Amino acid sequence: MDWNLSVASEEIIAVRLTQTEKESGKERTHHATYWYDATDANTAYSTELLDGQEELVTLNELVKEALADEEHVRASALHPIVRLYDSIGFNPDGDLVVEFDQGQVAPEDEGRISVVIDKQEAAPLLSEFGERAQTAAATVASDVQLADAPQESQKDSAEKPAPGAIPVVQDGDPDCSTAESKCIALTFDDGPGKRTSELLDALDEYEAKATFFVTGEEPLREYPEVVQREYAEGHELANHTMVHPDLTTVSRAEVKNELTTLNALVRRDTGYTMNLMRPPYGASDDTVSEVSEEMGLAQIMWSIDTYDWRDRDPDKVAKRVMKDAEPGSIVLMHDIHGSTIDAVPTILEKLDEKGYTMVTVSQLLGETEPGESYRDGHPDSDEK
Ligand code: ZN
């Protein structure tokens, strides 16, 4: 790990970290720029140079345009999330500079990818802090004394999240505590798979949210960009372990390792810390519950099993959902099966016709208790 100061003024400093990571014999270099504002003693993510999520979405579009002619860049890898936009700065002319890690949006041998957004074009996107940072970046000082920080950080604790940190539960979400709201949670395990992006398109069409119980090893390693898209589009990410063992048959240390590693990988790819898990096969015991509790993870089971892994028949899968759907249901499906992907448009259409709102598990259940097990979110029901 190495660092340098990319901006140093009396008011603002920016530290750019360069991190080299070796994984499975491959070396990758990451860059991240963290900001500090001495006027209020606050640190900031790079995305806080921007005024809000909308501005980050616009920046993401500008970046896509700027990279459109670069054949090796994968447009599907560009999402307005904090983890991808973790290194933003300014050149001395005041243009906005965005950089992506090696391998993040293009093949590894292309190295680091950077985009310069013209000062004029960037101007409407900046936050008040971003404007001051832009000015500070233009002033080259060789000997800087950082202004004294005020005694206490003045950061408002109720402050909105940094752009690109997508909250799973937001103001204005449907209130699922009453039966009238007809909330239902569709959940997809074991993915992502090769057709998960089609599923995301279908969800998008109905403005439906879902929860993805992601599995480590191959799915996550093979489709990190799909997980990033799931996160960027407001779906919930949840932990379904690294290698999908029956957790009741492995040691406590292994349970912990399975959950910790996946949490870390998803955090690395998205910046998001998951707080729900589903034990493979729904198999849990006291050890699994205790470890989940320690890690801040609630255990999410289901109330409707579609048996989509057994019956690879879209009609059967859709019928099973519709037969048992009621407000508060948690539906179990697997996005690694093509037949399930084919069933989803029908399921969404029918649920929509019946007035259901498709929500994430956290939107359905509200605040959950780590370690506790939930099988549905039926309103007015006392049982868990
Ligand atoms: Zn599973």
Q: Residue 154: pLDDT above 70?
A: no
Q: Are residues 254 and 113 in the same domain?
A: no
State the pLDDT confidence band at 384, using cuts at 50, 70 and 90. Answer: very low
CA of 349 to the centre of ligand 1 (A): 26
CA of 367 to the centre of ligand 1 (A): 24
CA of 37 to the centre of ligand 1 (A): 45
Whether 169 maps to a domain, the answer reads no
Whether 74 maps to a domain, the answer reads yes
Q: Are residues 187 and 133 in the same domain?
A: no
CA of 190 to the centre of ligand 1 (A): 5
pLDDT value at residue 142? 72
| Amino acid code (one letter) for 9 | S
DSSP alpha helix (H) spans, 68-219 = 119-122, 128-138, 196-205
Structural domains counted in the chain:
2
CA of 82 to the centre of ligand 1 (A): 28
pLDDT value at residue 158? 56
Whether 320 maps to a domain, the answer reads yes
Q: In the listed set 137, 171, 194, which residue is the last one of a domain according to the structure? A: 137
The residues carrying an active-site annotation are 189, 334
How do the residues of the chain divide into helix, strand and coil, expressed in percent and rounded to 5?
A: 35, 20, 45
Q: Residue 143: pLDDT above 80?
A: no
Among the residue ranges 121-125, 277-281, 379-383, the one predicted with the least confidence is 379-383
pLDDT value at residue 210? 98
Q: Are residues 133 and 187 in the same domain?
A: no
Q: Residue 382: pLDDT above 80?
A: no
Among the residue ranges 113-117, 118-122, 180-184, 249-253, the one predicted with the least confidence is 180-184
Burial class (CB in 10 A: 0-12, 13-18, 19+), 88: buried
The answer to whether 14 and 38 are in contact (CB under 8 A) is no
The range of the structural domain enclosing residue 184 comes to 179-374
Tokens of 239: 């932990």
Q: Which residues surround ligand 1, an ion (CB under 5 A)?
A: 189-190, 280
Q: In the listed set 137, 168, 187, which residue is the last one of a domain according to the structure? A: 137
